[in-house]
Chains A and B, each alone.
Chain A
């Protein structure tokens, strides 16, 4: 039989685990922003961490702007599934389990945007 003190400790333990889950689970499922939000300059670029989990890589912008997104593998450091356009969203996807990082580049200045990868 658990004492009142024991019951309180049990309650607090469950509460703590629930709170940690609330914070961790959404982050684990979410996109990871690796550059921005910021105002970009011509030639400026950003890169995510290397991971085999990344499959999507987007450059999202407040307005149309010329940008590139690509994946870079950690063996040859070659580019894969590169996309360049002036859309408000430039998007690429590489469905392999290779270790890779997302990379994005701005080709014009003065627009707001951010780059993110996701599983």
Chain B
């Protein structure tokens, strides 16, 4: 009986070690995403702009969030308290990421063919050097995007903001947004973000 008990205890110890090895490896693999998902529920969220209602969509809002773990996020959402937020985040200490002038994000439904895309929206922030922002189309036409959002301060720096909803439903390969381009006072391009169509 004692020998049997010792054998069972040894087997239990082996199982314990094996199980915890699996658990530890799994937890390590997933801790990054889980921490990020959790962090996105923290910090203050402020409405800084709107996407006015059009035939293709109801009014939406542009939100700025600064999380407890040091991310600054720009969201396109149905309302300030909705979890259905589309956009992205950068470190607060590097709000524009690799860009020195522009953070732009494109959101849409449908696709991936331009003909199937509906309710395309563009939003972003730009530093003081940016004089204008344009949405460039594949047919060569360019639409001006006004700085219509609230000015924001991130890590002590001031940024202009914009939110824009494309009202044209007739998107096609030869009439689709290709990029958001920021220009300085001389009209020179100083920042570009492709839109994906």
Contact = CB atoms under 8 A, between A and B. Distances in A.
B167 interface: no
B107 A89 contact: no
B98 interface: yes
A63 interface: yes
A87 interface: yes
Given A26-B26, A27-B26, A86 B97 contact: yes
A91 B83 contact: no
A81 B33 contact: no
Given A22-B19, A78-B111, A84-B106, A89 B26 contact: no
Interface in B135-190: none
A88 interface: yes
Interface residues of A, number: 46
A15 B34 CA distance: 27
A44 B73 CA distance: 25
Nearest to B98: A64
Interface in B95-150: 97-99, 103-112, 116
A89 B19 contact: no
Interface string A75-103: 00011111111111111111100000000
Interface string B1-45: 100110010001001100110110011011011101100100000
Given A15-B12, A85-B88, A79 B196 contact: no
Contacts of A81: 84, 86, 107, 109
B15 A82 contact: no
B32 A93 contact: no
Q: Considering residues B12, B33, B89, B195, which has the most beta carbons from chain A within 10 angstroms of its beta carbon?
A: B33
A25 to B, nearest CB: 10
B8 A93 contact: no
Contact of A19 (B4, B16, B29): B16
Given A8-B8, A79-B109, A87 B88 contact: yes
B193 to A, nearest CB: 6
Contacts of A5: 1, 4
B5 A8 contact: yes
A79 to B, nearest CB: 4
A81 to B, nearest CB: 6
Given A23-B23, A83-B107, A84-B195, 16 more contacts: A16-B15, A22-B19, A23-B19, A58-B33, A64-B90, A66-B194, A68-B196, A81-B86, A86-B99, A87-B87, A87-B90, A89-B89, A90-B88, A93-B86, A95-B83, A95-B84
Top 3 A-B pairs, shortest CB-CB distance: A87-B88, A64-B97, A31-B33
27 contacts: A19-B15, A19-B16, A19-B20, A22-B19, A23-B23, A30-B26, A30-B33, A31-B33, A56-B37, A58-B33, A60-B33, A79-B109, A79-B110, A80-B109, A82-B112, A84-B195, A86-B103, A87-B87, A87-B103, A89-B36, A90-B88, A91-B73, A91-B85, A93-B85, A93-B86, A107-B196, A118-B37
